[in-house]
Amino acid sequence: MPTTSLPSTPARRRIVVVGGVAGGMSAAARVRRLDETASVVVLEQSPYVSFANCGLPYHLSGEIESRDSLLLHTPESLREALALDVRTGSRVTAIDRAARTVTVRTADDEYRLGYDALLLAPGAVAVRPPVDGLDHPAVHALRTVPDLDALTARVASLPADGPRRAVVVGAGFIGLEAVEALVERGLEVTLVELADHVLPPLDAELAPLLADELRAHGVALHLGVSASAITSTDDGGALVALSDGTRLAADVVVVNVGVRPASDLARDAGLRLGARGAITVDGDQRTSDPHVWAVGDAVEVTHAVTGETGPVPLAGPANRQGRRAADAMLGRRTTPQAPVLGTAIVRVFGLTAAVTGASQATLERAQTEHSTVRIHAGHHAGYFPGAEQVHVVASFAPDGRLLGAQAVGREGVDKRIDVLATALRAGMTADDLAELELAYAPPYGSAKDPVNMLGFVAQNVLDGTMPQWRAADVDDVLATSLVLDVRTRGEFDRGHLDGALNIPHTELRDRLDEVGDAADGRPVAVHCASGVRSHIATRVLLAAGLDARNLSGGWLSLTTTRPDLARTPEGAHA
């Protein structure tokens, strides 16, 4: 096997990058911008070295019309602009760390290539669930350009006037984007998810908002079940068998149930891996070998809130890691890898959902003490036309530090989650959120922005000004407390909890004796629509010496979490 000789002088230091796309190409481009003399070789096994993988679903839907728009660079454009030696169709099969060479296999050849510094950016590969029949021609993934091409061709082959049925397995970020794209292409879509709610990283109390939006666009949901087998039908389609016995006919099946680090090459080379199979790196992206760096979906990172380690497959961190690794390989000052927040966002038809930091479920698994607050605020001033509610849930440590936040809404979600992600990175507290100065004009926000409101509510909860109860505890509350509904009579008549006493908050001061008699020594569980009026009512009751608590997030949070409990006066479901 021929061996390409190592560079003979430091002036022609060779840096070999294995893998392109976000992390690898970010590193290669940064090396060239910093060092015009370095020899930079990029080895990419696919035909596409730099493409917008996050844009794939939006070309499938037709929203991005040109497929070429997704191809950010070609080997030719990178050679012309940055003098990079980009070799597509080149798979690295082995690393000889002692000789500092990699073995490269192409369609026609195999050779060794020497390096002074090696960067691994192999990315991640789709998890193949234990489902019989994944090789059926109707089954597709949606991670790469070839995946997109195959899926697009399958959809295009379906008759315009015949069955056009799709089953999407996995309701994560990519799965939801695939659902939206296939609906836009005119398919009848069914979504299957093993978890008990869509978008598992989202807390269960917000997920029903997304489920309702999906159903409103004709998507059938099968939650809490898995696909067990895929078989052929007589017409060339597929039959997807679910774990609960359901059978779903499909012309297209899209499977996206997660990814795993593509770390086999690193493992075979003896590099250190973490417990979840990702490559272990230091703050400068250096692996356990001082001449090898690694970036992107295949590397292990630390979560900023929980301290847990593992891969986080996001484009933003991958790009920053590539830049950092390039600086480190060239001996420059670096900004060490900060713990990651896992900030992510997705569009689901007319809704947007976004997360940052730790969810309630994550905090509970980690046994991290926290208080959670909920608000339903307008995305801009309520008196300006078009105000939409932003549903925000945020968790705080006992000392007031923000631990995580999630939001769902039709407008303004991205703005708030970005502010909250920045606050998390800065270690801000509820007091800091309350004091943030954010841009305000009626078309854009409110004088008290939803982020400020989160701070205000959290301050009240953390310092004991506002004792609260949660929708998740409603069964215990109904058994042990008097429920006081302080909404208007009209709101109450449209749906309320069984046994609730309705006294509008404007009448409460004159009817305190009525509350005391009804409570008969029990705690008073107060609620209104969103928590604002019941805040006032709870303070009135506390001042009167009653044991009162306010429902966090109000009726809106309760009916999202437990719609079965909302009843009309006649006892029917509201």
Q: Which residues are catalytic?
A: 54
> From CA 401, how far away is CA 414, in angstroms rounded?
21
Instruction: Tell me the CA end-to-end span of the chain in Å, nearest whole number.
Output: 75
- CA dihedral for 331, 264, 125, 137, sign (positive or negative): positive
Q: What angle do CA 53, 404, 443 make, to 5 degrees?
A: 75
Integer CA distances (angstroms), 187 to 138, 223, 419, in order: 14, 20, 37
Reduce the DSSP state of residue 330 to 3 states and report it.
coil
Helices assigned H by DSSP within 426-531: 430-435, 450-462, 474-480, 489-493, 512-519
User: What number of residues does the chain have?
Assistant: 574
- Which tokens is 62 given? 């037709």
> From CA 392, how far away is CA 32, in angstroms rounded?
43
Write 101-110 long-range contacts (CB < 8 A, 24+).
101/3, 102/16, 102/18, 102/43, 103/1, 104/43, 110/1
Q: Which residues make Cβ contacts (< 8 Å) with residue 325, sequence separation at least 6?
A: 23, 27, 119, 284, 285, 293, 294, 295
Reduce the DSSP state of residue 203 to 3 states and report it.
coil
Which DSSP helix (H) or strand (E) runs through 167? strand 165-169
Integer CA distances (angstroms), 155 to 33, 162, 207, 407, 473, in order: 42, 12, 29, 33, 46
> From CA 550, how far away is CA 319, in angstroms rounded?
44
Q: Which residues make Cβ contacts (< 8 Å) with residue 81, sequence separation at least 6?
A: 73
> From CA 24, how far away is CA 400, in angstroms rounded?
39
> From CA 39, how far away is CA 529, in angstroms rounded?
64
In DSSP notation, 258-291 reads -EEE--HHHHHTT--B-TTSPBP--TTSB-SSTT
Contact 529, 556 (CB under 8 A): yes
- Which tokens is 515 given? 């509350």
